[in-house]
């Protein structure tokens, strides 16, 4: 029985001695090499002939914006010839894809001809938008669009 305990004790002493030697070697290495920090190589230094392209900014929240190539309302010819001008404000329902799903006239100048309203609605129903973004997701929205009918346009 004393032999069994002696073997375990010798094994424990060997383990302790090995740990002590490992610690001393590690400390000696650190003393001669200091606290060097090993870092990854600079990625920009290894890129090959790639143009400088800035990453697109992440959009978290953004209102709906009309696209540049949307058709303008047509000035009713009879009203243009008569020199009649007018303003209307339309309310547009925009879906998450940017399509106009509904268009209504919210306000108009007093006495504005109904043909101005119809011309505005016809054009605005064809419009496309960059959809509103909330918390990173495209959502449906409502926008108001003023439409001015001026002869000099």
**Whole-structure pTM over 0.85, yes or no?**
no
Evaluate if residue 108 carries a pLDDT over 60: yes
Give rounded-to-5 percent helix, strand, coil for the chain: 35, 25, 40
Strands across the sheet with 86-94, in order? Answer: 100-108, 86-94, 141-149
Statement: 65-149 belongs to CATH 3.40.718.10 = no
User: Does the structure show a pLDDT above 90 at 131?
Assistant: yes
Cα dihedral sign, 120-125-129-131: positive
pLDDT at residue 72 above 90? yes
């Amino acid at each position: 029985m004393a032999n069994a305990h002696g073997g375990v004790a010798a094994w424990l002493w060997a383990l302790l001695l090995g740990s002590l030697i490992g610690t001393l070697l590690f400390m000696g290495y650190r003393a001669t090499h200091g606290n060097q920090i090993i870092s990854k190589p600079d990625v920009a230094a290894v890129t090959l002939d790639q143009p400088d392209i800035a990453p697109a900014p992440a959009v978290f929240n953004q209102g709906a914006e009309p696209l540049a190539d949307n058709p303008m309302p047509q000035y009713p010819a009879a009203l243009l010839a008569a020199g009649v001008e007018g303003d209307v404000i339309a309310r547009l329902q925009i879906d998450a894809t940017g399509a106009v799903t509904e268009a209504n006239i919210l306000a108009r100048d007093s006495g504005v001809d109904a043909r101005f309203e119809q011309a505005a609605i016809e054009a605005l129903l064809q419009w496309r938008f960059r959809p509103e973004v909330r918390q990173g997701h495209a959502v449906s929205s409502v926008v108001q669009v003023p439409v001015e009918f001026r002869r000099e346009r």
